[in-house]
Structure 1
Amino acid sequence: MTCLHHRAALFAGAALLVPAAAQASEEAQPERRYLPTDIIVTGESASDYDTQDGSSATKTPTPLIDVPQGVSYITEDQLEDQSIRQLNEALRYVPGISMETGEGHRDEVFIRGQESTADFYIDGLRDDAQYYRSLYNIERVEVLKGANALIFGRGAGGGAINRVAKRAELGSQATSGEASVDSFGAFALLADMNQPLSDSVALRINGTYEEFDSHRDFYEGRFIGVSPTLTAQLGPQTTLIASYTYDDDRRVTDRGIPSVDGAGPLRGYDDTFFGDPAFNEAEAQVHIGRIRLEHDFGGGLSANGTIHYADYDKVYANILPSGVDTAAQTVFLGGYRDYTDRENWIGQGNLVWQAGNDTVESTLLLGFEASRQDTRNGRDTVSFTRAAVPGGLDPNETPLADTIFVPPYTLDTGARLRNSELETLSFYLQEQLQIGDHIELVGGLRWDRFDLETLDVVGGVTGDRVDEKVSPRFGVIVKPNRDLSIYVSYAESFLPQAGDQFLVLSPTSAQFEPEKFTNYELGMKWAPLAKVLVTAAIFRLDRSKTPFTDSLGNTTLTGESRVEGFEIGAVGEISDFWKANIGYTYLDGELRSASSFGPAGQRLQQTPRHQIAAWNRFDVTQALGFGFGVIHQSDQYASFSNTVELPSYWRVDAAAFYTVSDRLSLQLNIENLFDETYYPSAHGNNNIQPAEPFSARIGVRFAL
């Protein structure tokens, strides 16, 4: 009944916007950008592109239409229109990405069928710890698809997710804020202030406070974030950008629900919390500081250098479901507490030289990156202490109920303690050659040295391995005209056998060279209108050198998988009143040979064949607008076992926008308009996350 009252009140609030709009003054809506600024060169030369904000896909001032790979963007304006605060929420609107639950405490994604907890970047620099990322200080989110080792280094086999951070702007004074609350009681407060300190120095501060809530029993939490940035013009050709971010996240660790009979999610318990609210808690404190220096030497030669430091302090504890006995109507539980401390130091430098004439133009990139990563990880395990009753329940077994009784347990400390030290050194070279008006060639190589030392403190086992890899990238772009490009590309990437997080080298993994990712792609980018970009691509992504252990215990690198697919999308301002970001992806992924993931022929986990994501904003008048969104994913398997299926689903979202004045606007967002029951993500077969039912958020945005 409470939910119905909430829903009625929210619809009534939306209805009040319509007559109010009829009386509103004809004040223009603020311009909404669904494409990054200057992604397409419309002038006669590349000088029209802002060289201080170069492309993340090439580390050079390259328009998106000349990038030979699939790239998806979500701009700040679209994030605001959808009232999205967290990265994992934003990525649900990117076809080709499916979300892993991340065990209820971290961002985790599948990009073109490849799972990752580490392929996250901020301004092109690695941000690889396991935590939830907020978007309060982010200008846009970029998803660069396919193997990306040349630009990003190790990993990024299926793609990379880059967040472009907000910067202080010289000569511009602005203050804005936002407040919102949803039908579950969750709320968010955001502030953004840009203040020039002189003609050559500006300070910008972004901050947020957010409290979480949802339909899930006992779920709650809060997030605090503050991010000051400083921009200083040190000379006519030299700019310094410094930034610091502090994020403090605390929330209940929610592992979702188990499966039943090895087939699908357990029905009827979508609100039930299969844990201990006094124990299931995740906390993360993150400090990230960056200093970037940019200099233009003139004559087409420019350089930039960045020093990046990050400190991550993370702990999470959870009781979680591990299986169901349907005959006895009981659920089995497990549990542990895990903690990680990590420090990252990264230094990166790039030299870009642009030269040429009317016949041939060259953009040459020379760069290096050096990093050090120190990680300490430990785990304490849960032991259930209730004595088993003959013919009765096991110590960790409890009856299924709307509120789960957690049997008594103790925490066994020191079950796992691991230290790792990782040092990397990389050099890369890339040439972008434009021949006449119709042909562009892109080619490059990256050399990486990867030096990992680990210590298993409990087992007393040390491991070390040094890998040196060369990763190539090649592309050919044909441009019948400046608004259309057709490309073919080849790229490789690698992932050391220690995995995404590099916590420990086992005696087996220390023997083997990294896994290999190879991406073949044929695509098109077309700008039919000045503010619209249409993209399409067909691709094949091969993963090889995956470990396989035979029946005799011999391990070899013979495992292979393949993903073949097609994607098409359109984004931008289709007309004066219609902005949209629409996409479809088809993925066909399977294991081609037996590996550590499973036998040959199995479908890749959490890789739906069909994905649709469409968001539209329609401005009916200069004061009133509406939003409409659709997400669809076809059925997918929760794991490589291919036994538990997450059913296909459609989700419809809606929004209403009312501009009171150029300084004040109101907004209503509805998620899951038709109250569909679906299960968008999982972590294995017995941690399946039910989606939120119908929910709504009302917000107000102001500018001073």
Structure 2
Amino acid sequence: MLHKKGCIPTYLAALIGASFAFPALSNPVQGLEAGAEDVERVEVIGARQAYRGNFSTLETPQSELVISSDVLIDAGAFDLSQALDLSSSVARQNNFGGLWNSFAVRGFVGDENLPSNYLVNGFNAGRGFGGARDLSGIESVEVLKGPRAAIFGRGEPGGTINLVTKRPTFDKEGNIRVLAGSFDTYRVDLDYTTPISDDIAVRFVGYYEDAESFRDTIETKRRAMSPSIAWQIDDKSQLVYELEYSRQEVPFDRGVIAIDGVLGLIPESRFLGEPGEGPMEADVLGHQLEYQHDFNDNWSALVGVNYRDTSLEGSATETGFGDVIDGEINRFRRTRDYDATYQVFRAELTGEFELAGLAHRLIVGIDSDEFENDQVFLRVRGDQFINVFNPVYGAYPLPTPGPNTDRVETQESLGVFIQDQISITDKLDIRIGARFDDYEQELINRRSDTTATQTESRVSPQFGIVYQTTDTLSLYAAYGENFRPLSGNDADGNGFEPNQSSSMEAGIKFTLNDGNLTGTVALFRVEQENLLVVDDPTAFTSAAIGEAESQGIEIDLNGEIGDGLMLWASYSYVDAQTENAFFDANFGFTVEAGSPLLNIPEHQLSLQLVKESELSGRPFEYGGGVVYVGDRNGFFGTDFELPSYTLARAFVNYEISESLSVRGELENLFDETYYLNSFADVWVQPGAPRNFRVSATYRF
């Protein structure tokens, strides 16, 4: 499908012919292999992420949180949702039966019928149907808070998640990890990088996982690989290609139900679907190509192209929205065949110069993307009852679903952006930026044989100011506007005006302990309009009539607080609610103004302490963490709530030798019953009881 509309060949031609060059990689090439004495060593060009520029933490007038690979390992995070639990600004949302990542940043989530978008090395990558994102090939997770439309383009108003991948280095090294845990969980990870010549290095990252679950009858299989190759063309230029492949087989699991609004009347292990359906299958095949170059010490540029193909298919029987009568609830059966492609091109120039006696740091660029979302959705309702207290699977023949949705939607955009951070004095900087987006949407309804198109142009401005009072403390404030295109159609078959938002934030950034400990305290307020609400659930149409706001405070503190003692702390207070009343046809009632937004806790905390020590002369690491999530609305527009929960975990890690280490982890230490998220009182995702993992890692 690379030939679609000529986009990829055009981009590659532009890439080959361009004289742009890229800023440095997230894992930049680090020189030639030691021991090649007759070859000049290639030095690092410098490390800078795409769209980010060369700014220290204290110089950046926005709140950002970078979760490194060490922190992810210590937290026992294997997928993106677990990683984002480390940021209190991010709240879990309905994860579509475990088949995708869905999250809200600062109270706001995207389209409930699509996964939450995220970036991979600056490329849009999260809106497809490839299953929950595993962290096997990820070096770090960046939580970039606040509106980022002025640089990244259309996106979520609360913030942007960017994943930085593991890339080749010229240091030959590798490791293999073997893991076993509760619920018959088995996993193998491999990570190996090596030079294959004086200027070319490769890396292979992959995993295989086979696991049952605390949920009855649920078993999953996941596998992925991420090979990459880096070419150090000369001491100023690099070319990197990355491939992403994954396949997941995951049963569709809507979770448990609250009977008459009460949770816990059935076990958290109770599965209410049909095991005979088999798993849903989610696949990803993606490519990223980046070329970077430094013209000199002050100017650099990049060109990049990305193509990602995802699919989700399978059938599932799900509980409906009716009441439990005599112990039974009705269900419906649905079949999904979803395909999505995402292709992105970008080019960016960054540099530093002086003008009129003022120092400028400039980012200017152009990008374009095309997202194609092809959905075939079948459904059948009827007498498919199940007894929630004594389920009998396979009691009914599986009915054949009939047509419901058959459509393909294409979103295309072209954006031009500029950002200039001007040093007014040695201590005072201002940031001014804007982005112009030209956007086109086409929605083809194959059932009704109709086509609707619309075009939009948007300017997204940003303003920021940062004052560095000392070498260890700065004050900042920022304002930005954001827009996000909306998928789907209204009752007349037309598309929607984009979701619009504005955001303000102000805060303090500081470093302590000789720069080893960094912190941010931020106040924020976000306002949104044109939020989608269900207009006709039978026709699968919506209306863009919702308004909402979010405000709160965030505190992030992480780094070394003592000799070998590492702290990670993140706390947030978020007040997120609707601003207008509207009728929700999905459930047949009016959502009043001032209603809390779904799955958004007012208070959330993530805390982790890790101690590095020695045992019998060998490195020994131990620690633990606590996650607290407050009460949340569990059924939008009603008073149904998910209760608060506090989870504790602990781990130990011991290096038996320079090449072998062992690790033990215990999750949910106090075996708390808890619920992660919900869509309504009949679709509630329970959390796992106390469980353990043991693993061994061999380095070579």
After TM superposition, is the score higher than 0.5? yes
Quote the RMSD (CA, aligned, Å).
Answer: 2.4
**Cα deviation digits, residues 23-59 of structure 1 (max 9, x gap):** xxxxxxxxxxxxx999xxxxxxxxxx98743246x52
Among residues 630, 638, 641, which one is paired with 1:642 in the alignment? Answer: 638
Segments of structure 1 that go 5 or more residues without pairing to the other structure are: 1-35, 39-48, 385-394
Paired position in structure 2 for 1:187: 186
Using the size of structure 2 for normalisation, the TM-score is 0.87
Among residues 273, 276, 280, which one is paired with 1:275 in the alignment? Answer: 273
Paired position in structure 2 for 1:537: 522
The aligned amino acid for 2:508 is: M
Paired position in structure 2 for 1:146: 146
Q: Does structure 2 conserve the Cα–Cα contact (< 8 Å) formed by 1:200 and 1:232?
A: yes
Q: 1:358 to 1:438 in 2, by over 3 A?
A: farther
Q: CA deviation at 1:87?
A: 0.9
Q: What SS does the aligned partner of 2:217 have?
A: coil
Q: What SS does the aligned partner of 1:661 have?
A: coil
Q: 1:235 to 1:682 in 2, by over 3 A?
A: same
Asked if 1:463 corresponds to 2:456, the answer is no
Asked if 1:580 corresponds to 2:574, the answer is no
Asked if 1:397 corresponds to 2:397, the answer is no
Q: Does structure 2 conserve the Cα–Cα contact (< 8 Å) formed by 1:118 and 1:129?
A: no
Among residues 503, 511, 530, which one is paired with 1:527 in the alignment? Answer: 511
Paired position in structure 2 for 1:472: 461
C-alpha separation in 2, matches of 1:489 and 1:51: 31
C-alpha separation in 2, matches of 1:398 and 1:133: 32
Asked if 1:115 corresponds to 2:103, the answer is no
Paired position in structure 2 for 1:15: none
Q: Does structure 2 conserve the Cα–Cα contact (< 8 Å) formed by 1:177 and 1:702?
A: yes
Q: What SS does the aligned partner of 1:410 have?
A: coil
Among residues 472, 495, 499, which one is paired with 1:515 in the alignment? Answer: 499
The aligned amino acid for 2:667 is: E
Q: CA deviation at 1:332?
A: 2.1
Q: What SS does the aligned partner of 1:604 have?
A: coil
Paired position in structure 2 for 1:438: 427
Paired position in structure 1 for 2:38: none
Q: Does structure 1 conserve the Cα–Cα contact (< 8 Å) formed by 2:502 and 2:526?
A: yes
Asked if 1:175 corresponds to 2:174, the answer is yes
Q: What SS does the aligned partner of 2:494 have?
A: helix
The aligned amino acid for 1:340 is: Y
C-alpha separation in 1, matches of 2:137 and 2:201: 16
C-alpha separation in 2, matches of 1:508 and 1:351: 43
Q: 1:525 to 1:596 in 2, by over 3 A?
A: farther
Asked if 1:331 corresponds to 2:318, the answer is no
C-alpha separation in 2, matches of 1:240 and 1:687: 46
The aligned amino acid for 1:315 is: E
Paired position in structure 1 for 2:602: 609
Q: Does structure 2 conserve the Cα–Cα contact (< 8 Å) formed by 1:560 and 1:595?
A: no
Paired position in structure 2 for 1:387: none
C-alpha separation in 2, matches of 1:440 and 1:55: 21
The aligned amino acid for 2:573 is: Y
Q: CA deviation at 1:526?
A: 0.6
Among residues 567, 573, 582, which one is paired with 2:554 in the alignment? Answer: 567
Paired position in structure 2 for 1:693: 689
The aligned amino acid for 1:112 is: R
C-alpha separation in 1, matches of 2:433 and 2:390: 57
C-alpha separation in 2, matches of 1:143 and 1:603: 24
Q: CA deviation at 1:402?
A: 4.4
Paired position in structure 2 for 1:53: 47
Q: What SS does the aligned partner of 2:58 have?
A: helix
C-alpha separation in 1, matches of 2:70 and 2:297: 36
Q: What SS does the aligned partner of 2:378 have?
A: strand
Paired position in structure 2 for 1:33: none
Segments of structure 2 that go 5 or more residues without pairing to the other structure are: 1-25, 29-42, 536-541, 585-590
Q: Does structure 2 conserve the Cα–Cα contact (< 8 Å) formed by 1:669 and 1:696?
A: yes
Paired position in structure 2 for 1:155: 155
Asked if 1:625 corresponds to 2:621, the answer is yes
Q: CA deviation at 1:432?
A: 1.1
Paired position in structure 2 for 1:133: 133
Q: 1:445 to 1:362 in 2, by over 3 A?
A: same
**Cα deviation digits, residues 584-642 of structure 1 (max 9, x gap):** 10011111112466221111111100001112111242532212110111110113223
Q: Does structure 2 conserve the Cα–Cα contact (< 8 Å) formed by 1:259 and 1:324?
A: no
Paired position in structure 1 for 2:11: none
The aligned amino acid for 1:208 is: Y
Q: 1:511 to 1:98 in 2, by over 3 A?
A: closer
C-alpha separation in 2, matches of 1:143 and 1:467: 28
**Cα deviation digits, residues 94-152 of structure 1 (max 9, x gap):** 20211123122111111111113232110011012132111101000111122221222
**Cα deviation digits, residues 626-663 of structure 1 (max 9, x gap):** 12110111110113223321001111111111111222
The aligned amino acid for 1:472 is: P
Identity %: 25
Tell me which moved more, 194-203 or 80-89.
80-89
The aligned amino acid for 1:540 is: R
Paired position in structure 1 for 2:377: 379
Q: Does structure 1 conserve the Cα–Cα contact (< 8 Å) formed by 2:128 and 2:341?
A: no
Q: CA deviation at 1:317?
A: 2.5
Among residues 63, 84, 89, which one is paired with 1:91 in the alignment? Answer: 84
Q: CA deviation at 1:73?
A: 2.2
Output aligned runs, 1:176-575, within 5 Å: 176-261=175-260, 263-298=261-296, 300-323=298-321, 325-326=323-324, 328-356=326-354, 360-384=358-382, 395-405=383-393, 407-496=396-485, 499=486, 502=487, 504-506=488-490, 510=494, 512-529=496-513, 530-546=515-531, 559-575=546-562
Q: CA deviation at 1:580?
A: 2.0
Q: What SS does the aligned partner of 1:409 have?
A: coil
The aligned amino acid for 1:651 is: L
Q: 1:412 to 1:678 in 2, by over 3 A?
A: same
Q: Does structure 2 conserve the Cα–Cα contact (< 8 Å) formed by 1:383 and 1:411?
A: no
Q: CA deviation at 1:180?
A: 0.9
C-alpha separation in 2, matches of 1:604 and 1:279: 33
The aligned amino acid for 1:253 is: F
Q: 1:690 to 1:235 in 2, by over 3 A?
A: same
The aligned amino acid for 1:188 is: R
C-alpha separation in 2, matches of 1:147 and 1:509: 30
C-alpha separation in 2, matches of 1:212 and 1:152: 37
Paired position in structure 2 for 1:680: 676
C-alpha separation in 2, matches of 1:167 and 1:332: 50
C-alpha separation in 1, matches of 2:45 and 2:596: 43
Asked if 1:654 corresponds to 2:647, the answer is no
Asked if 1:78 corresponds to 2:91, the answer is no
C-alpha separation in 1, matches of 2:116 and 2:405: 21
Among residues 661, 664, 673, which one is paired with 2:660 in the alignment? Answer: 664
Q: CA deviation at 1:359?
A: 6.6
Q: Does structure 1 conserve the Cα–Cα contact (< 8 Å) formed by 2:490 and 2:496?
A: no
The aligned amino acid for 1:76 is: S
Q: How many residues align?
A: 638
C-alpha separation in 2, matches of 1:513 and 1:383: 33
Paired position in structure 2 for 1:18: none
C-alpha separation in 2, matches of 1:71 and 1:248: 32
Q: Does structure 1 conserve the Cα–Cα contact (< 8 Å) formed by 2:151 and 2:419?
A: no
**Cα deviation digits, residues 493-519 of structure 1 (max 9, x gap):** 1122xx3xx3x3335583652121111
C-alpha separation in 2, matches of 1:608 and 1:193: 40
Q: What SS does the aligned partner of 2:96 have?
A: helix
Q: CA deviation at 1:400?
A: 2.2
Q: Does structure 1 conserve the Cα–Cα contact (< 8 Å) formed by 2:142 and 2:162?
A: yes
